């Protein structure tokens, strides 16, 4: 990831708390709605899936694509965001 978005920087700058799934980099309104419909309404719920998949990039990207239809860029943005957050807070 050559550069990070402001959304990414904002997310990784502080504890996750009760942030909406839409706070994740790469997850906008449409993907957020799809994730919410499948029970992933908070960023920490997506983080839980990320951890269940052992922070494996390929598995997480595939899960995100299958779950909400995220494209390659969105998958990478979300993975990078969660990975950096974990590196800072876990």
Per-residue pLDDT of 44-70, as tens digits, reads 999 999 999 999 999 999 999 999 999
The whole model's pTM is what? 0.94
Q: Dig out the tokens for 49 from the structure.
A: 């899936």
The CATH superfamily label for domain 6-89 reads Barrier-to-autointegration factor, BAF (1.10.150.40)
Percent of the chain with pLDDT over 90: 96
* End-to-end Cα separation, the chain, in angstroms: 21
Name residues whose C-beta falls within 8 Å of residue 30's C-beta, 6 or more positions apart in sequence.
Answer: none
Quickly state the pLDDT bin for 3 (edges 50, 70, 90): confident
- Would you say 49 and 79 are in contact if contact means Cβ atoms under 8 Å apart? no
């Amino acid at each position: 990831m050559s550069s990070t978005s402001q959304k990414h920087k904002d997310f990784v700058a502080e504890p996750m708390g009760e942030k909406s799934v839409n706070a994740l980099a790469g997850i906008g309104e449409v993907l957020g709605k799809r994730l919410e419909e499948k029970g992933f309404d908070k960023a920490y719920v997506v983080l839980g899936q990320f951890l269940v998949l052992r922070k494996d990039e390929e598995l997480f990207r595939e899960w995100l694509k299958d779950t909400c239809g995220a494209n390659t860029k969105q998958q990478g943005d979300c993975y990078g965001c969660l990975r950096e957050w974990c590196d800072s807070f876990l």
